[in-house]
Amino acid sequence: MKALVLEKYKELIYKDVPEPEIKSNEVLVKVMACGICGSDVHGFDGSTGRRIPPMIMGHEASGVIIKTGTDVRGWKTGDRVTFDSTVYPLDDWFTLEGSYNLSDNREVLGVSPGTYNRKGAFAEYIAIPQHILYKIPDNVKFEQAAMVEAIAVSLHSINIAGLKPGDRCVVVGAGTIGIFLLKLLKLFGASKIIAIDINPKRLDQAKKAGADHTFVSTEEGLIEKIAALTNNRGADVSFEAVGVTESVNIAIDSLRKGGKALLVGNVAPRVEFPLQKVVTRELKVLGSCGIRGEYDVVLNLLETGKITVDDMISAIAPLSEGARWFNKLYFREEELNKIILVP
């Protein structure tokens, strides 16, 4: 089969590779769409250490089942599916406790941090264990279903936050995750939504996605302006979708006393942390990792048209041209949202 292989850092080659073999509990999926994630672009140059070549990336995908293993039940050839990006063991303590996204020995599709190398979906076919499959509603296209993973990551952080109707929220970072956070916060009843990004162009998109107010992160008096919009208290909940010192600190500074900061971005391994502010204001700083069953709700929101994704797709391009699109994203030649690669 053909696949887009990261041969070495910054070098993607579209070439023939062996077709995956399926285990008895797996299905073989013909990939119909796979989105390029920001983490793939960051991994592409080796900076995150989570994409060690040679490997096949791609974890935001959808397709059709073309073969089923002997122990597969409830799935058949021809089923249109998408799947979780995490492959988790079913007998792990954390899985049984209800946190499969934190299970030991879990693997992420299209990720290779050195301890494992799980083949991803920038390929014609991919082997997927049946327990991470989800059926795509008939009225949802493959390209749209490839966006479910990113929406589910955003929704997971809202679930961890325990968002209450009327909460005043700040979203730092208006990339894909940030934009879906804005859309979901609107849907889930936030009363005031403030978006912050370093790039003013992203803020136009944030407005369209539901932000009531937007600010460039370098704007003078930013924290005072946020306070003025939140009864001079600060936001109830902030979401950080970048993952560097400056943005983490904005997320923390924008909170009211007792507020919650949800950390979703994780580009930098370490950041400078305002210890005294967090302690003396009794802030809750919570990490949000991946997805924990949010696919079901997201597919439902797509089926019923409650969340839209087409405005977030900048291009649908053949997998054979994947290297060119990675370069466009890497060198930021233009302002792009999601690029979806198709057969």
Residue 36 binds Zn ion, judged by CB under 5 A? no
- Pick the closest to residue 264 from 43, 97, 38, 108 (CA basis): 38
Which one, 25 or 337, has the nearer CB to Zn ion? 337
**Per CB under 5 A, which region of 37-45, 92-100, 202-210, 335-343 contacts Zn ion?**
37-45
- Tell me how far, at minimum, the Cβ of 58 lies from Zn ion, in Å: 9
Q: Which of 28, 37, 181, 251 binds Zn ion (CB under 5 A)?
A: 37
- Pick the closest to residue 263 from 281, 287, 291 (CA basis): 287
Interface with Zn ion (CB under 5 A), residue total: 2
Which one, 83 or 215, has the nearer CB to Zn ion? 83
- Tell me how far, at minimum, the Cβ of 274 lies from Zn ion, in Å: 28
Which one, 37 or 56, has the nearer CB to Zn ion? 37
- Tell me how far, at minimum, the Cβ of 339 lies from Zn ion, in Å: 13
CB 194 within 8 A of CB 169: yes
Cα–Cα distance for residue pair 138/161, rounded to 1 Å: 32
**Per CB under 5 A, which region of 4-12, 39-47, 196-204, 269-277 contacts Zn ion?**
39-47
**Per CB under 5 A, which region of 29-37, 110-118, 176-184, 270-278 contacts Zn ion?**
29-37
- Tell me how far, at minimum, the Cβ of 292 lies from Zn ion, in Å: 15
Ranked by CB distance to Zn ion, the top (closest) residue is 37
Which one, 39 or 157, has the nearer CB to Zn ion? 39
Which one, 56 or 194, has the nearer CB to Zn ion? 56
- Tell me how far, at minimum, the Cβ of 151 lies from Zn ion, in Å: 11
Per-residue mark of binding to Zn ion, 218-237 (x: CB under 5 A): --------------------
**Per CB under 5 A, which region of 32-40, 63-71, 255-263, 266-274 contacts Zn ion?**
32-40
**Per CB under 5 A, which region of 34-42, 50-58, 280-288, 335-343 contacts Zn ion?**
34-42
Cα–Cα distance for residue pair 201/336, rounded to 1 Å: 11
Which one, 154 or 230, has the nearer CB to Zn ion? 154
Which one, 39 or 249, has the nearer CB to Zn ion? 39
SS3 sequence, the chain? CEEEEEEECCEEEEEECCCCCCCCCEEEEEEEEEECCHHHHHHCCCCCCCECCCEECCCEEEEEEEEECCCCCCCCCCCEEEECCEECCCCCHHHHHCCHHHCCCCEECCCECCCCCCCCCCECEEEEEHHHEEECCCCCCHHHHCCHHHHHHHHHHHHHHCCCCCCEEEEECCCHHHHHHHHHHHHCCCCEEEEEECCHHHHHHHHHHCCCEEEECCCCCHHHHHHHCCCCCCEEEEEECCCCHHHHHHHHHCEEEEEEEEECCCCCCCCCCCHHHHHHCCCEEEECCCCCCCHHHHHHHHHCCCCCCHHHEEEEEEHHHHHHHHHHHHCCCCCCCEEEEEC
Which one, 37 or 163, has the nearer CB to Zn ion? 37
Amino acid 298 reads V
Residue 111 binds Zn ion, judged by CB under 5 A? no
- Tell me how far, at minimum, the Cβ of 240 lies from Zn ion, in Å: 16
Name the β-bridge partners of 68: 27
Which one, 39 or 103, has the nearer CB to Zn ion? 39
- Tell me how far, at minimum, the Cβ of 297 lies from Zn ion, in Å: 18
**Which residues here bind Zn ion, judged by CB under 5 A?**
37, 39
